[in-house]
Chains A and B, each alone.
Chain A
Amino acid sequence: MGRYLLGRLLTAIPTLLIIATLAFVLLHAAPGGPFDSDRQLVPQIQHSIEARYHLDEPVWRQFVRYLANLARGDLGPSFQYRNTSVNELIAQGLPVDAAIGLTAILFALLVGGAAGLFAATRPGSRADRAAMSLAMLGISVPVFVTAPLLMLVFAIRLHWLPAGDWVAGSWRHLLLPSLALALPYCAYIARIVRAAAIEALHQPYIRTANAKGLPAYLILCRHASRATLMPLVSFLGPALAGLLTGSIVVEQVFGLPGIGRLFVVGALNRDYTVVTGITVLYGALIIVFNLLVDLCYAWLDPRIRSRV
């Protein structure tokens, strides 16, 4: 087990290296630099700003410097926010996205999971079709429609909830963005759970449980639901990585100081370190969550465990 983990983590290093290299190269290839402005600077100042961020060095040396810092976990200084490190920016933005993302996933699991199981017990019925049509709608309507819609109804028309902003620890500020973010996930989860549960309900062990007279709800909750966990876990891994690094649209609409917005503003302002840093972070999270997913597999399925 330990060797397996070590092996997986070691293979993560070249992957991250490739991600960092690609991000670095693509960003530096984009026209325009971080300190271009419509006020042209005197050469001395331009030079001293560039020297401050080592932009006066050849690109390969900048890259080596970047990698060396990265190896120490230092993502470098932000170019657009003076005297602020990328680590600091991420430390500030990550909790916002984590709070919203985790609330959203929790909501999606509860509602989506329940809807999926419910539909699975009545395949082909009207209730099933209604639930699945709703799920289809949830998947196809993009967040940039649902988020303003939620804002319009609950904040602008009814004035029940704030239309945005972030106040740490305030559930009222958490609710609308989480809900907007949760809806598509809710729908995905409902569909995944339904498909897996229907398949499980046709398995011989369910027939056995039926035969020995177990109540339907126990069969569903104890036996069928377990079978839905495998596909669910493989979906949740990358989804969580995505949620933690922020949803650009939700952050934009609700004006939240998360990582997604930093990433977009960073790309526009050619804030090389912020964009590369967030890309690497996203890559690392994907790797970690995929590893967790595999570990979960092993835990859930004894057949895989024996192979590991």
Chain B
Amino acid sequence: MIRRRAAGLLSRRRCAPTVAVMLLTLTACGAHEPGASGRSQQLTVGRALAAEQVLTRGIDAGGLRSLDPSISTDVSAAHVLDDLFEGLTRLDERGEPAPGVASSWETSADGRTWTFHLRDARWSNGEPVRAGDFVFAWRRTVNPATASEYGQALAAVVNCVAINEGKLPVSELGISALDERTVRVQLIAPTPYLLSLLTKSYAYPQYEPVVRAHGEDWVRPEHIVSNGAFTLREHVIGGRVRLLKNPRYWDAASVRLQEVVYLPLDRAVQTARFFAGELMFTDPFSAEQTAWLRSRLGNQVVSAPYLGNVVLGLNVLRPPFKGNRNLRMALTLGVDRETLVHFVRQGLYEPAWTPTPPLPGYDAPVPDWARLSEDARHTLARRLYAAAGYTRERPLRIRLHYPTDTDNRRTYEAVAAMWRANLGAEVETYNDEFRVQLNERQLKKLELFHYAWIGDYPDPYTFLQLFQTGFGQNDGGYSNPRYDALLNAAGEESDATRRLQLLSQAEALLNEDVACIPLYYYATRHLIKSYVRGWTSNIQDRNLSQYMYLLEHQGH
């Protein structure tokens, strides 16, 4: 207990909301005075390009732990790297994979060999980007000596896992340079999301001479050689990151921004800076503020579906959930998702009936109970709850663990209240510092816990693998041989439609077994000045600065 308190005192998550509440209460006070209400609405936007093309973007304060594409794992750094480097493919304005350094490619009949043809792209020092630069970079990412947390992100590539585990030399990796402008990639299985993977930081090329000369220091502004739309000018750790347009980028003619400044800041601070007119594009604002922000900023508040879900993890290896599907189902039915989403999460998120968020081309298996009325669900839930051996007099008593965060607290207080009202279950919500909880969760010590996941690529597999037997993040301990077999079959399937069908069957099994309690799907949340154009909301929430531009404007 003392330990928990001590950790809490140091918690940024605890400190940040305090500051957040202060800032917002104060800004809110200002909002009701007639003189002040118009400030942000006084913004008038013209049609011509602004003379000064300098974009300021907010990113999450906790990130930017490394700018090395082989090593970096956090979202903040991914935004910066998206601007600095370009892989074989890049994301287009709509967030879809499109030709990048590779201008074209072919696939073998079995979908396991891909050949990419490189365009005349240049590094920021003027040297051509060669096929060997990809081979070098990929080997470096996978090499266990690099000690990258993303060492197996390229697991689809032949021998990636074995090399990363130190069983094979890096030269055995399934990537080769056929000549200076041709890259061949060999995959262990057809990977329909490969083009999307190739836009990620771990698949960028790296300029070997500078990495060899400076080691991990190569990403410092004084050394770095990059091949994206921007170059790194300044990087203050914990502070600003300043990028300048790269005149040597192959598509530089269509890049209008001259400079991009990234500022790592807490959410509430980002919002305040947006009001002050100093940030033009912010990272997630607090979901709690949605309604208030919309009333103040109108369509500058931008939200769209995001490739992520929030579920309640159930530990099926321990009582009370072990071998007790009735109880798991009763709790699943006892959550009123529409109420949760509309009243607690202010209509920002979509209710979830199944773990995988909506994806184009994928027919997610929505369970039958989702179509029942709320009352019918409650009746069924009570029956299953009773069948599981619980009554109003002898209710289920359990702790629901979630990481400290005001947004989470509201959600889980509501969920606990729903279970109390609908079933009579006594659920105690219990929050802890993220790292403390993560540790206990991975040791499978928690029975009922918050579990949020952001997909690595737009494909159901990134969500479904979490329930595979023995998978590292399978913190609930779910295991079903039929499920594993379906996932493996999908992995081997070269027909894309058939593969998605297999995944859908697997997911239906997951719902049938009630491996977790889906709550809702995430949404992207940005504040974007109305004079910033050229971005499109996309499911991966990656907005490359190279497509953005600023229109003439007056006011803040």
Q: Interface stretch among B111-119, B267-275, B521-529, B546-554?
A: B267-275
- Chain A residues 33-49 with CB under 8 Å of chain B are 33, 35-42, 44-45, 48-49
Map CB proximity to B onto A159-185 as digits: 1 under 8 Å, 0 otherwise.
100111110000000000000000000
Map CB proximity to B onto A82-95 as digits: 1 under 8 Å, 0 otherwise.
11100011001100
Map CB proximity to B onto A135-155 as digits: 1 under 8 Å, 0 otherwise.
000000000110011011001
Inter-chain contact B71/A82, CB cutoff 8 Å: yes
CB distance from B83 to the nearest CB of A (A): 19
Q: Which residue in chain B gives the minimum CB-CB distance to A259?
A: B238
Inter-chain contact A269/B216, CB cutoff 8 Å: no
Residue B473 is within 8 A (CB to CB) of chain A in the complex: yes
Given contacts A151-B272, A162-B278, contact A268 B11 (CB under 8 A): yes
Inter-chain contact A162/B276, CB cutoff 8 Å: yes
Residue A21 is within 8 A (CB to CB) of chain B in the complex: no
Inter-chain contact A253/B23, CB cutoff 8 Å: yes
Residues of B within 8 A of A36 (CB): 435, 438-439, 442
Inter-chain contact A42/B27, CB cutoff 8 Å: no
Residue B93 is within 8 A (CB to CB) of chain A in the complex: no
- Chain B residues 122-160 with CB under 8 Å of chain A are 144-145, 147-149, 151-152
Residues of B within 8 A of A49 (CB): 147, 149
Q: How many residues of A contact B (CB 8 A)?
A: 59
Residue A80 is within 8 A (CB to CB) of chain B in the complex: yes
CB distance from B84 to the nearest CB of A (A): 16
Residue A299 is within 8 A (CB to CB) of chain B in the complex: no
Residue A52 is within 8 A (CB to CB) of chain B in the complex: yes
Partner of B62 from the list A156, A255, A265 (CB cut-off 8 Å) is A265
Query: CA of A45 to CA of B160 in the docked complex: distance in angstroms?
Result: 13
Inter-chain contact B3/A255, CB cutoff 8 Å: no
Q: Interface stretch among B14-22, B180-188, B536-544?
A: B14-22
Residues of A within 8 A of B276 (CB): 151, 155-156, 159, 162-164
Inter-chain contact A39/B149, CB cutoff 8 Å: yes
Q: Which of B13, B71, B147, B152 has the most chain A CB atoms inside 10 A of its CB? A: B147
Given contacts A40-B473, A156-B276, A164-B269, contact A265 B39 (CB under 8 A): no
Residues of A within 8 A of B231 (CB): none
Residue B350 is within 8 A (CB to CB) of chain A in the complex: no
Inter-chain contact A255/B439, CB cutoff 8 Å: no
Q: Which of B73, B144, B273 has the most chain A CB atoms inside 10 A of its CB? A: B273
Inter-chain contact A44/B10, CB cutoff 8 Å: no
Query: CA of A145 to CA of B23 in the docked complex: distance in angstroms?
Result: 8
Query: CA of A38 to CA of B277 in the docked complex: distance in angstroms?
Result: 35
Given contacts A265-B12, A268-B435, contact A89 B7 (CB under 8 A): no
Query: CA of A3 to CA of B410 in the docked complex: distance in angstroms?
Result: 62
Residue A264 is within 8 A (CB to CB) of chain B in the complex: yes
- Chain B residues 17-62 with CB under 8 Å of chain A are 18-19, 22-23, 26-27, 30, 36, 39, 61-62
Map CB proximity to A onto B265-307 as digits: 1 under 8 Å, 0 otherwise.
1100100110111100000000000000000000000000000
Inter-chain contact B19/A255, CB cutoff 8 Å: no
Query: CA of A29 to CA of B10 in the docked complex: distance in angstroms?
Result: 14
Residues of A within 8 A of B11 (CB): 268
Query: CA of A156 to CA of B39 in the docked complex: distance in angstroms?
Result: 9
Partner of B436 from the list A31, A40, A155, A256 (CB cut-off 8 Å) is A31
Residue A249 is within 8 A (CB to CB) of chain B in the complex: yes
Query: CA of A59 to CA of B144 in the docked complex: distance in angstroms?
Result: 25
Inter-chain contact B7/A30, CB cutoff 8 Å: yes
Q: Which residue in chain B gives the minimum CB-CB distance to A149?
A: B26
Inter-chain contact A262/B19, CB cutoff 8 Å: no
Query: CA of A93 to CA of B439 in the docked complex: distance in angstroms?
Result: 31
Residue B217 is within 8 A (CB to CB) of chain A in the complex: yes
Residue A257 is within 8 A (CB to CB) of chain B in the complex: yes
Inter-chain contact A82/B275, CB cutoff 8 Å: no
Residue B94 is within 8 A (CB to CB) of chain A in the complex: no
Residue A81 is within 8 A (CB to CB) of chain B in the complex: yes
Residues of A within 8 A of B442 (CB): 36, 40
Residue A288 is within 8 A (CB to CB) of chain B in the complex: no
Inter-chain contact A44/B237, CB cutoff 8 Å: no
Inter-chain contact A45/B148, CB cutoff 8 Å: yes
Given contacts A151-B272, A252-B16, contact A37 B439 (CB under 8 A): no
Query: CA of A28 to CA of B120 in the docked complex: distance in angstroms?
Result: 52
Inter-chain contact B147/A81, CB cutoff 8 Å: no
Given contacts A39-B73, A152-B30, A156-B276, contact A257 B237 (CB under 8 A): yes
Inter-chain contact B435/A31, CB cutoff 8 Å: yes
Residues of B within 8 A of A152 (CB): 23, 26-27, 30, 272
Inter-chain contact B439/A31, CB cutoff 8 Å: yes
Q: Which residue in chain B gives the minimum CB-CB distance to A249?
A: B19
Residues of A within 8 A of B251 (CB): none
Residues of A within 8 A of B213 (CB): none
Inter-chain contact A148/B19, CB cutoff 8 Å: yes
CB distance from B373 to the nearest CB of A (A): 36
Given contacts A40-B472, A149-B26, contact A48 B263 (CB under 8 A): no
Residue A270 is within 8 A (CB to CB) of chain B in the complex: yes
Query: CA of A37 to CA of B275 in the docked complex: distance in angstroms?
Result: 34
Inter-chain contact B438/A92, CB cutoff 8 Å: no
Inter-chain contact A84/B438, CB cutoff 8 Å: no
Residues of A within 8 A of B209 (CB): none
CB distance from B20 to the nearest CB of A (A): 10
Inter-chain contact A32/B15, CB cutoff 8 Å: no
Q: Which residue in chain A gives the minimum CB-CB distance to B11?
A: A268
CB distance from A40 to the nearest CB of B (A): 3
Inter-chain contact A265/B73, CB cutoff 8 Å: no
Partner of B22 from the list A29, A40, A148, A257 (CB cut-off 8 Å) is A148
Map CB proximity to B onto A13-33 as digits: 1 under 8 Å, 0 otherwise.
000000000000010011111
Inter-chain contact A145/B236, CB cutoff 8 Å: no
Residue B86 is within 8 A (CB to CB) of chain A in the complex: no
Residue B556 is within 8 A (CB to CB) of chain A in the complex: yes
Query: CA of A37 to CA of B145 in the docked complex: distance in angstroms?
Result: 19
A and B contact pairs by CB, cutoff 8 A, 22 listed: A31-B439, A32-B433, A36-B439, A39-B473, A40-B473, A42-B165, A44-B164, A45-B148, A48-B145, A80-B65, A81-B65, A82-B66, A83-B66, A151-B272, A156-B276, A162-B278, A166-B236, A253-B19, A255-B264, A255-B269, A268-B13, A269-B62
Which residues of B are at the interface with A, using a C-beta cutoff of 8 A? 3, 6-7, 10-13, 15-16, 18-19, 22-23, 26-27, 30, 36, 39, 61-62, 65-66, 68, 71, 73, 144-145, 147-149, 151-152, 164-166, 215-217, 236-240, 263-266, 269, 272-273, 275-278, 433-436, 438-440, 442, 453, 472-473, 556
Q: Which 4 pairs show the lowest CB-CB distances between chains A and B?
A: A257-B239, A32-B435, A40-B472, A163-B276
4 more CB-based (< 8 A) A-B contacts, given A35-B149, A40-B472, A252-B269? A81-B65, A145-B22, A261-B238, A269-B435
Which residues of A are at the interface with B, using a C-beta cutoff of 8 A? 26, 29-33, 35-42, 44-45, 48-49, 52, 80-84, 88-89, 92-93, 144-145, 148-149, 151-152, 155-157, 159, 162-166, 248-249, 252-257, 261-262, 264-265, 267-270
